[in-house]
Every structure is written in structure tokens, then in C-alpha cells.
Structure 1
Amino acid sequence: MMNSNPPIVPRVDSPTFLVLAYDIADGIQATALRDQHMEGHLTHMEAHWTRYVCAGPMRTDDGKRFIGSMFLLRAEDRADVDSLMRGDPYFRCGLYARVEVVPTVVAIGTAIGGRIWASVDQLKTGGARG
């Protein structure tokens, strides 16, 4: 069983963005594009790995097919996100039909090693808000 009292950790010091990239509807074509550009996609992510809090493919409910990608990125602003994503072969090849970019605050989880708030009152007064 996991510890129910996560440690308090510093807030991620740079703005963070959730990027949800949904594959084109043609599953056969999407699979072909993924396979063709996977090496370049992985090389791009490895070259910029410190910008990713986490990332990975999204799957169908049954887990049998990829339907897109999820990226949780550290970036200065939306333009910085767009610039980083434009360098990714998956974005350049037309794999994604729709992309959502949402500013986020990474507040709790194993990726940051705990939680960013000491108390609920701190959250109410904006102490841990991004």
C-alpha cells in the first residue's frame, strides 16, 4: 500500500502544458505514419527529454490500437510549445488530426515526488497556484 501522506515538494519552476494529440481517423494510415516516423519521433523526444514531465501514446479502451499521444511539457509559453512540437516528425508528417494544448499546474504525483501544497488554506489563498 502506498503512503497516504505524500511529501511536500517545490512547485515545478517553469510553466507546464498538457498536449493531447489525436491521430487521424484512418487507423491503417495512422499506423503506417507512426511506424514510418517512429525513430525520428523518439530521437526528437530524447534530444529534448528534460522538457517532458512525461509523455506517451494514448490507446483505445481495449488497448489494441494507438489513437494519439499525450505530452506533459515544460515550456515558457504556448509559442514555445508550438515550436517544440513542430520539430517532432509525428507532427510534421500529418499523423495528428487534432491537437489540444492546455496550461496546467503539476500539483501531485510520483513524477514530481509528492504534492506542492502544505494545506488546503494555502491553496485557497493561491500559495500553490500557477
Structure 2
Amino acid sequence: MPQLGYSLGRDVAVDIVTPMGKLRIPKVTKFTSKPKMTSTDVTALSGNTDTLQTPKGWDGQFDAERMDGTLDDFWAQWEANFFNGIDTSGGTITETIQESNGSVSVYRYENVSFHLTNPGDKEGDKTIKQTMTFTANRRKKVA
């Protein structure tokens, strides 16, 4: 629930569906996403410049504490599929946000490609932090 009108991280729920099914990461600690854009400047003979912007999809990242083999197993299956010549389609991410006014906003990232970029550092008496990044073709508001 929001606090004093501010959205908090705990107001966000993320559902991940990969080409191999729903991915349930036990302890997600951070989710980030940002749009990718290209910009082209057009300068007229008068010296005035217009900037044209074109959306190029989305990038994002999940940080998680390793509690089981979920991300390692997901990546092992993805890699096995690749080397066995199995085509991997894109997945989806659904982001649900409880807004401070009580409404709910839902965004869907489409045609998502996933990449386990850091399976984690293993050190005595420390938790194992894992990172999975993604790219998506689009993010659409669905509710």
C-alpha cells in the first residue's frame, strides 16, 4: 500500500512468463525498466534543430536473492534449447502497481528476451545475489 501518497517498491508485483512457462523467482529484491530510444537531430538551414525520437523497446533488470535453483535452472534449460536447435520465442512480463489513489495500473512487456547476466558470487556467510536482465519490444498499458 502506498504511504503518504508515495508509491513504494512493495506496491509493485511482477509476473514473468517465459517461453518455458511461468517463472516464479522466490525473492525478487529489485525490478527496473527503462525505455530505449534513438534520437535524430534535424537542423534546418535557419539553424533551428528539431529532435526526432523513435522508441526502440525496453531494457530492464531483476535482482534476486538466491533461495533455490530457479534462475540457474531456467538458464540451463534456455542454453540447452539453444544448443539443441530449439527456437525460443519471447515471453511477457506483467507489472501491476497499486497506485496511491487506490487504483491499479497494469503494464505488459511483450516479446521479452531474458538473460541471466549474473548467477551470483558465492562467498562464505553472504547471500548470493543474482541478476537477470531483459529486453522487450514494447510496454503496453493493459489496465
- Whether these two folds match at TM > 0.5 is no
- Identify which of structures 1 and 2 has the higher relative contact order when contacts are C-alpha pairs closer than 8 Å and 6+ apart: 1
The two structures have a TM-score, normalised by structure 2, of 0.27
Decide which structure has greater helix share. 1
